[in-house]
């Protein structure tokens, strides 16, 4: 949950910043009150009252902010747990179909996507261990060439990877690669989802805390 924790820490920093602003504004207000009180010879009592007011405001803001933060934290954890569960179920479902034509077609699309992103003259496809879908390498080559305008050769690597499915595409010299395995795509989706959740949380904080 490192992604969740980093988001929570950022929210806490925003809450602290808001409390500091409120206290600073309250102290500015107190200066006026103290000057007025000095004229009346009641400076000490006024100072005590102002300090008590400042502390009360700060405590109230912190208490409310912490309650909201705790609620958001629980919601965020629940959302992430649900997203992970859904993605894992999807992976398990796809894993059972790796011998079907539909799976081979999907692999072709993943290979084209990865090869196009690399935009090099030669790529190798690294398949999951124990899987050998019939891939149309000529079609993959033609589609990558069409998208990148770089004549691209495509071959199967002797190397294999541990994965539920998908393909890893790398340049022939091994310096570039795209992880289009199910796990790789899942991780990228989770990263994007965390960014979306973080944006939503910060929008709420800016208007409600």
> Do residues 7 and 91 both lie within one domain?
yes
The model's pLDDT over 55-102, given as tens digits with 9 standing for 90+, comes to 666 676 677 677 777 777 777 777 777 767 777 777 777 667 777 778
> Do residues 136 and 201 both lie within one domain?
no
In-domain check, residue 182: no
In-domain check, residue 204: yes
In-domain check, residue 66: yes
Q: With beta carbons less than 8 A apart as the criterion, state whether 209 and 20 touch.
A: no
Q: Which two tokens stand for residue 21?
A: 């602003």
Give the torsion sign (CA, 8, 11, 15, 17).
Answer: positive
> Do residues 145 and 82 both lie within one domain?
no
> Do residues 132 and 156 both lie within one domain?
yes
> Do residues 39 and 55 both lie within one domain?
yes
Q: Residue 130 has what pLDDT?
A: 86
Q: Residue 100 has what pLDDT?
A: 75
Q: With beta carbons less than 8 A apart as the criterion, state whether 157 and 125 touch.
A: yes
Q: Residue 207 has what pLDDT?
A: 38
> Do residues 20 and 91 both lie within one domain?
yes
What is the strand order of the sheet 166-171 is part of?
153-161, 122-128, 166-171, 177-181
Q: Is the pLDDT of residue 113 over 70?
A: yes
Counting the structural domains of the chain, the total is: 2
Q: Which two tokens stand for residue 68?
A: 């909201």
Q: Is the pLDDT of residue 202 over 60?
A: no
Q: With beta carbons less than 8 A apart as the criterion, state whether 169 and 125 touch.
A: yes
pTM for this predicted structure: 0.54
In-domain check, residue 181: no
In-domain check, residue 83: yes
> Do residues 62 and 82 both lie within one domain?
yes
Q: Residue 141 has what pLDDT?
A: 96
CATH number reported for the structural domain that contains residue 156 in this entry = 3.30.2320.30
> Do residues 87 and 119 both lie within one domain?
no
The confidence band for 16, taking pLDDT boundaries of 50, 70 and 90, is low
> Do residues 28 and 86 both lie within one domain?
yes
The confidence band for 206, taking pLDDT boundaries of 50, 70 and 90, is very low
> Do residues 6 and 90 both lie within one domain?
yes
In-domain check, residue 145: yes
In-domain check, residue 180: no
> Do residues 121 and 50 both lie within one domain?
no
Beta-strand runs (E) in the chain: 122-128, 153-161, 166-171, 177-181
> Do residues 118 and 132 both lie within one domain?
yes
The confidence band for 137, taking pLDDT boundaries of 50, 70 and 90, is very high
Residues spanned by the domain of 87: 2-95+187-208
The model's pLDDT over 27-52, given as tens digits with 9 standing for 90+, comes to 666 666 655 655 555 555 655 666 66
In-domain check, residue 111: yes
- The C-alpha atoms of residue 48 and residue 54 are separated, in whole angstroms, by 10
The model's pLDDT over 146-187, given as tens digits with 9 standing for 90+, comes to 999 999 999 999 999 998 889 999 999 989 999 999 889 888
């Amino acid at each position: 949950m490192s992604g969740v924790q980093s988001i929570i820490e950022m929210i806490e920093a925003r809450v602290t910043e808001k409390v500091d602003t409120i206290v600073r504004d309250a102290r500015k207000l107190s200066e006026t009150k103290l000057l007025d009180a000095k004229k009346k010879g009641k400076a000490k009592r006024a100072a005590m009252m102002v300090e008590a007011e400042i502390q009360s405001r700060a405590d109230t803001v912190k208490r409310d902010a912490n309650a909201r933060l705790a609620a958001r934290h629980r919601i965020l954890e629940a959302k992430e747990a649900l997203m992970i569960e859904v993605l894992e179920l999807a992976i398990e479902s796809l894993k059972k179909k790796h011998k079907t034509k539909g799976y081979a077609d999907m692999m072709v699309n993943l290979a084209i996507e990865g090869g196009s992103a690399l935009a090099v003259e030669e790529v190798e496809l690294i398949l999951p261990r124990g899987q050998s879908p019939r891939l149309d390498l000529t079609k993959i080559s033609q589609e990558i060439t069409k998208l990148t305008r770089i004549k691209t050769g495509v071959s199967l690597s002797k190397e294999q990877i541990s994965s539920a499915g998908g393909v890893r595409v790398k340049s022939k010299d091994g310096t570039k690669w795209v992880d289009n395995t199910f796990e790789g795509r899942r991780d990228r989706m989770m990263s994007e989802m965390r960014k979306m959740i973080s944006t939503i949380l910060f929008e709420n904080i800016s208007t409600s805390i």
